[in-house]
Amino acid sequence: MTNIFNRTLLKTFKLENIIVFALLLLPLFALVLLEPKPEITIISLFYYAFVASYFSFSAMLVAALIIVASLALISPIYTSIFAALGYLVFAIPLNYYSHKESKTPTAELTNSQFDDLLDIANNAQIRDFETYNHSERVAYNSLVLARHMGLSEKQLDLVHWSALLHDIGKESIPTEILEKSTSLNFDEYEIIKNHANYGADVLASISSDYGEIAEIVRHHHEKWDGTGYPKKLVGSEIPILSRIIAVADVFEALTSKRPYKEPMRPVDAAKYIVNHSGSHFDPQIVKVFELCFAKKLFHIADIDEPSTIDLLYDSQVYEEFSQPYLELK
């Protein structure tokens, strides 16, 4: 829920949304000037105007709200005037920005796609709470890396949803394998490896709109040197968002308790990531990881708020590890 709130909050402060919201306020000033007494109606109209801009509700809904509010406030003579004003002020800018976003290649996910993916994520949470918690932390840390790499809004959306859903293919894996407390044998490991393809195929089968997310999910276990799976892609053949998720996924797995292991100290997990730069991980992404780790930006298992992750760091070892990276920009 926190990730969803943060995403919506960030979206609200985009320049185009601020412009639309400013236009939404114009009828309020007119209403106050004509009849300032019914404060409750004024507050209600303000609320609905804010909600309309916040979630990009339809122009028809906004126009209807204006009609209702004006009926409650003033005489029928002015009702049609405010209805027309509401349509001009609300519908035109909302339709314009809605059309603009739908035609822009770098646009964020639509509300419908957002709802569909949220449903998938919620279903995954119901089926396997621990895997979902792991995926939430991977999604958070992937966003940290992606933002520090200066990726676009579209890429931030894609990496968020791809990371949140990267392990949905594990629903196809027998529970006794997922929860096994000892090392997997060859056959069991081969079964586990199927989850990347299975998850991608599930997403692709839901809608062609999720093809890009599906491919990111499919390749999150590829390795920079070509020894990963499912296709043994090498270097830049691996989608960049899959490479980001690979780093976040391994770091989160190392610092989490599993049926077969105790959690690793964050500083040791970070050293593992650095030591496998150029083999498992993209060296450029590892450099960004080092910077973000030095700034203590990652969310770690069993800690509710990312800002409190200092509690898990051994201060002396952490200072020694992070010092070389504090001057990075």
Q: Is 145 exposed, middle or buried (0-12, 13-18, 19+ CB in 10 A)?
A: buried
pLDDT digits (tens, 9 = 90+) for 174-198: 888 888 888 889 999 999 999 999 9
Helix (H, G, I), strand (E, B) or coil at 281: strand
pLDDT exceeding 70 applies to what percent of the chain? 51
Tokens of 305: 């708020």
Q: Give dist(CA 245, CA 142) in Å, integer.
A: 6
Q: Give dist(CA 161, CA 214) in Å, integer.
A: 10
Confidence of residue 210 (pLDDT cuts 50, 70, 90): confident
pLDDT digits (tens, 9 = 90+) for 104-135: 333 355 555 555 666 666 555 445 546 668 88
Q: Give dist(CA 88, CA 101) in Å, integer.
A: 20
Q: Give dist(CA 45, CA 81) in Å, integer.
A: 16
**261 beta partners:** 258
CATH numbers and ranges of domains, the chain = 2-103 (no CATH), 111-325 (1.10.3210.10)
- What is the per-residue pLDDT for 121? 60
How far apart, in Å, do the first and last CA atoms of the chain sit? 31
Amino acid at 4: I
- What is the per-residue pLDDT for 275? 97
- Evaluate whether 191 touches 166 at the Cβ level (below 8 Å): no
What's the alpha-carbon Rg for the chain, to the nearest Å? 24
- What is the per-residue pLDDT for 57? 46
pLDDT exceeding 90 applies to what percent of the chain? 32
Mean pLDDT (whole number) for 10-35: 51
Which runs of consecutive H residues, i.e. helices, occur in 56-182?
A: 59-73, 76-86, 92-103, 111-127, 129-148, 153-164, 175-178
pTM of the model: 0.60
Residue/partner pairs of 221-226 with CB below 8 Å, 24 or more apart: 221/193, 221/196, 221/246, 222/246, 223/279, 223/280, 223/281, 224/278, 224/279, 224/280, 224/281, 224/282, 224/283, 225/278, 225/279, 225/280
Q: Give dist(CA 298, CA 246) in Å, integer.
A: 15
- Evaluate whether 293 touches 325 at the Cβ level (below 8 Å): yes
Longest pairwise C-alpha distance within the chain = 80
- What is the per-residue pLDDT for 134? 86
H or E element, residue 28: helix 26-34
